[in-house]
A and B are shown apart, each in its own frame.
Chain A
Amino acid sequence: MTGTFGSLNIAKTGLQYQQIAIDTASNNIANVNNEDYVRRRAVASEVGGTSTPVMWSTYTGHGDGVTAESVQRVTSALLDNRVRNESGTQSYLEAQQASLSRVESAIGEPGDNGVSAALDGFVQSWQDLVSNPGGDGSTSGPAARLTVISKGQDLAAAINAQARNVVAEADTQVVQAKTDVNQINSDAQQIATLNHSIFLAQASGTDVSDLEDKRDALMLDIAKVGGAVSTQQSDGQYNVTINGLTIVQGDKAGSIAISTSDGSGTAGNTAPAGTLIDGDPNSSTYGQALIDTATGDWSGAKLTYKLTYPDGGSAIAPITSLGGDLGGVTSMLTTTPAGNGSLADYKASLDKLAQQLANTVNDVYSQGYDLNGNAGSSLAATPGDYTTGNVGGYFFTNGDDPESSGTAWSTSYTVDALHLTVNSNVASNPNLIAASAAQSTDGSGNPVGNYDATNADKISEALLGSDGSHPSISGIYQSMITGLGTTINSLNTQTANQQSLTTQVTSEREQQVGVSIDEETINLMQAEKAYQASARVLSTMDSILDTLINGM
């Protein structure tokens, strides 16, 4: 049997609970635009008799009011994980798309200023040389020879510009990779700290919703940046893995680092020294910090990562595959089997283009004769020394690298897209261009020049791939451009699809965790009315007691 003042007590629990409900609703409304916030709900529980009946002890009441059992954080681990996964994939695709699109926008194809137009101009300049092979001192002057040189320089410059652009973009990606690595490490550290705080707070019965909000926000971030995955432990702590390797366990965080080695797990996690375009632009290794010159591959020092486990750091594991932004960035710096999916691929294609261009032109060129009657293959006795013997050397060289001495063109002479240039010796002596296919001699048998320009025609035919022994340079370039275009086109589609998917799962999660102002307003009104009703109970009790005490 309840006491006289029992109902007063019940009314008090009602007032208290409604107050908590009002607090919860107002907190929800206050955080309506907080992206990390998960809505809360005050869960009511009736206060009754003893839940376990005991012999000889009977509960005669009919309920003793209400209590706020908990303030529930309305969330779903499943949807949280979906959102993280899809956001990670989206960051991965966006990193690739953004990077390649930047390169693409600087290509200028199809147009009048790209490599393709420069190549056409170069081919035609050889044909114009056929029509006007005169040199310095001739009636018509060396105009056509100078045009061949300047068109050759234009073409080399156009290829150089694309290569520089790709390398600069790759450099940006390396910087981004470093930022991402720092971000992942900082997130992992904070998640570990929050794990610890949540563990302690839960033990003391404190509401940990705000800490969980923070941890989920960090988790989403680390998933976007590195494709990390979390598993919630029974004690409420998150274990976080990257590439299946644990980076956060309980209150301890490991770390990842960029490794310049092959990722075999050797100690000494150092980021690549300097960035790609550091250094002297005239050096032959300029721009090649990550690029293997022999294969055109970005091997040598391609970006790999190592993970130090949370338990102290003696164990180090190589990371083989990454998601998120860092995964996208890394994939851009790695060659793909298809050969047209990354910056590294595009740089390799450009190098091949430059090499093939030099091979074709130099090969045919070295079979001709210049306006002094010397063979186009005449090279200086000392490589690079043109001061004696009045010889030209190759048409295209790799920067100021001296070619090999005294021999015909050899394809083992390496030319890359960054350094392709017209031999400065030929450029300053237009008469040295080997346009003639026949050698003339004077009465004494000494070589003299002639105005035959068959070799110039052969060079233009070789560039077009019409001579049967050289590939079409424009064909090579076109397939590069088509490859890049197709890759970006498909990335655009994939990114758009992924965007829809991400929006979809984000929206599903938002349905669950988002704050609805209408709903909270209703909750608020309900609580207000309920509060008023509880207050009415009090005044009713007051009136009953008044009757009981004063009216008797």
Chain B
Amino acid sequence: MAITRVTQRMLTDQSYHAVDSNLTRLAADQLVLDTGKRINKPSDDPSGTTTALRARVGIANNDQYQRNASDGLGWLTTIDSALQTVNTQATKAYTIALKGANTGTNPQDAQDALADEINQIRAAIYATSNSNYLGRPVFGGTTTNTSAYAAVGYWTDGSGNKVVLPSGTTQADATTADGATQTDGSGNTYTFHADGTSDTADPTTVIAYTGDSGSVSRRVGADTVVRVDSSGDDVFGGGSSGSDSIFDTLARLSAALTNTAVGATGTTTEGIEQGIADVKAFMSRLSGAQADEGARMNKITQATTVSQDQSLALETTRSNAEDADFAWAAIQLQSQSTAYQAALAATSKTVQPSLLDFLG
């Protein structure tokens, strides 16, 4: 509609609207610069808000994966050094066993000394088997116990002497009752004495698995869950698999060397030969465990790299969606400020004069 009449109030109203809307836009631009954010409320850009929120969730998840990965690497590093230590000890035990196999030439004193070394190695492996990460035994599964293996007691024979249980019998564990008995194939009866305080360097001390069969895993990527513990049962034996543990093997080797083995396989030569074979088998299990642990470490490292890349990409996405382009915002503010001043100047010119100013 053509404007037919213009009144002073129309000019005032129009000036007010112009100044007001300029000021509103100026405030909006200033807010962008003040907060450094292009989106300050969801309604500023609804779809950008979704992008930003999704990116934030992704960033938070990836941060968490990286934190999980560093915890997982802690576990695997602990396991790695434990396995290396055990490997050294096992190699030593193997060498000693080979020396001990020369039964004809070694005097019994020398054999006893070798047995003593085996006992020390047994104690050392026991200590390493209880390696822990942040208070949790890395070979103990999900147990709440602080150790994966523990001295649980000793067996005595019919005469009440402490003995190393021969193979073919059932080893005691943490739940075996005090006074429990069993008979081996040769008709010898053995009695169990639950006594957790025994010296672990004494071969007759029973070292049993006190962990559980659970496994510990860490989520290091959206779909990547990596196991970060090693099953004590798989490495050292003696768990639910029912296999003899390395501690039983070394105890029997020690007993054979000192010529105190009891039961069906009680002869010295057979005992030592069996010990050599068992230690060798243990060493091959160890290599397998080390290879497995190394592969899992690689998996975590790779997942961490992927996760870090994703974090970076998501951060870029978030920033693009959410953060202000300062140069653009500053220019915008400047031009808005100019427009505001122009509106003010126009107002000062239009509101003031009327015909009355020009009448004499």
Contact of B144 among A127, A132, A138, A479 (CB under 8 A): A138
- Give the interface size class of chain A: 35 or more
Chain A contacts for B7, CB-based, 8 A: 510-511, 514-517
Most buried by A among B4, B46, B134: B46
- Quick check: is A271 within 8 A (CB to CB) of the other chain? no
Question: A450 vs B213: C-alpha distance in the bound complex, in angstroms?
Answer: 11
Contact of B1 among A466, A482, A508, A522 (CB under 8 A): A508
Q: How far is the CB of A320 from chain B (nearest CB, A)?
A: 30
Chain B contacts for A489, CB-based, 8 A: 43-46
Q: Are B9 and A110 in contact (CB under 8 A)?
A: no
Q: Quick one: given A109-B53, A478-B54, A485-B46, are A518 and B67 in contact (CB under 8 Å)?
A: no
Q: How far is the CB of B217 from chain A (nearest CB, A)?
A: 7
Of the candidate stretches B152-160, B238-246, B352-360, the one touching chain A is: B352-360
B97-144 residues with Cβ-Cβ distance < 8 A to A are: 134-136, 141-144
Chain A contacts for B280, CB-based, 8 A: none
Q: Are B64 and A127 in contact (CB under 8 A)?
A: yes
Q: Are A110 and B53 in contact (CB under 8 A)?
A: yes
Q: Are A110 and B142 in contact (CB under 8 A)?
A: no
Contact of B49 among A109, A140, A442, A466 (CB under 8 A): A109
Of the candidate stretches A115-123, A222-230, A250-258, A277-285, the one touching chain B is: A115-123
- Quick check: is A434 within 8 A (CB to CB) of the other chain? no
Q: Quick one: given A474-B53, A518-B354, are A131 and B10 in contact (CB under 8 Å)?
A: no
Q: Quick one: given A123-B61, A451-B143, A510-B13, are A521 and B218 in contact (CB under 8 Å)?
A: no
- Quick check: is B299 within 8 A (CB to CB) of the other chain? no
Interface string of A151-192 (1 = CB under 8 A from B): 000000000000000000000000000000000000000000
- Give the interface size class of chain B: 35 or more
Chain A contacts for B217, CB-based, 8 A: 130, 454, 457
- Quick check: is B350 within 8 A (CB to CB) of the other chain? no
Q: Are A120 and B50 in contact (CB under 8 A)?
A: no
Most buried by A among B6, B43, B225: B43
B36-68 residues with Cβ-Cβ distance < 8 A to A are: 39, 41-47, 49-50, 52-54, 56-57, 60-61, 63-64, 67-68
Q: How far is the CB of A53 from chain B (nearest CB, A)?
A: 40
Question: A498 vs B88: C-alpha distance in the bound complex, in angstroms?
Answer: 84
Dominant SS at the A interface?
helix
Chain B contacts for A109, CB-based, 8 A: 42, 49, 53
Interface string of B230-260 (1 = CB under 8 A from A): 0000000000000000000000000000000
Q: Are B43 and A492 in contact (CB under 8 A)?
A: yes
Question: A505 vs B120: C-alpha distance in the bound complex, in angstroms?
Answer: 101
Chain B contacts for A32, CB-based, 8 A: 8-9
Q: Are B50 and A117 in contact (CB under 8 A)?
A: no
Taking CB as reference atom, which chain A residue is nearest B322? Answer: A110
Question: A486 vs B141: C-alpha distance in the bound complex, in angstroms?
Answer: 51
Q: Are B10 and A511 in contact (CB under 8 A)?
A: yes
Taking CB as reference atom, which chain B residue is nearest A37? Answer: B9
Contact of A482 among B14, B47, B146, B356 (CB under 8 A): B47
Question: A451 vs B144: C-alpha distance in the bound complex, in angstroms?
Answer: 6
- Quick check: is B327 within 8 A (CB to CB) of the other chain? no
Of the candidate stretches A100-108, A299-307, A331-339, A393-401, the one touching chain B is: A100-108
Q: Are B57 and A116 in contact (CB under 8 A)?
A: yes
- Quick check: is B175 within 8 A (CB to CB) of the other chain? yes
Contact of B136 among A104, A451, A484 (CB under 8 A): A451
Q: Are B144 and A464 in contact (CB under 8 A)?
A: no
Q: Are A510 and B39 in contact (CB under 8 A)?
A: no
Contact of B42 among A460, A482, A518 (CB under 8 A): A482
Chain B contacts for A138, CB-based, 8 A: 135, 144
- Quick check: is B219 within 8 A (CB to CB) of the other chain? yes
Q: Quick one: given A33-B9, A117-B56, are A450 and B214 in contact (CB under 8 Å)?
A: yes
- Quick check: is A512 within 8 A (CB to CB) of the other chain? yes
A3-59 residues with Cβ-Cβ distance < 8 A to B are: 32-33
Q: How far is the CB of A450 from chain B (nearest CB, A)?
A: 4
Chain B contacts for A486, CB-based, 8 A: 43, 46
Q: How far is the CB of A179 from chain B (nearest CB, A)?
A: 26
- Quick check: is A220 within 8 A (CB to CB) of the other chain? no
Contact of B39 among A110, A452, A518 (CB under 8 A): A110
B163-211 residues with Cβ-Cβ distance < 8 A to A are: 174-175
Chain B contacts for A404, CB-based, 8 A: none
Chain B contacts for A460, CB-based, 8 A: 219
Q: How far is the CB of A502 from chain B (nearest CB, A)?
A: 11
Q: Quick one: given A492-B43, A518-B355, are A510 and B214 in contact (CB under 8 Å)?
A: no
- Quick check: is A134 within 8 A (CB to CB) of the other chain? yes
Q: Are A516 and B61 in contact (CB under 8 A)?
A: no
Q: Are B68 and A481 in contact (CB under 8 A)?
A: no
- Quick check: is A124 within 8 A (CB to CB) of the other chain? yes
Q: Known contacts A481-B42, A485-B43, A511-B6; can you find 15 more A-B pairs with CB under 8 A?
A: A110-B49, A119-B57, A124-B60, A131-B71, A132-B71, A451-B214, A474-B53, A474-B54, A484-B43, A488-B43, A508-B1, A514-B8, A515-B9, A516-B7, A517-B355
Sort A-B residue pairs by CB-CB distance and give the 3 closest, nearest first: A139-B135, A485-B42, A514-B7
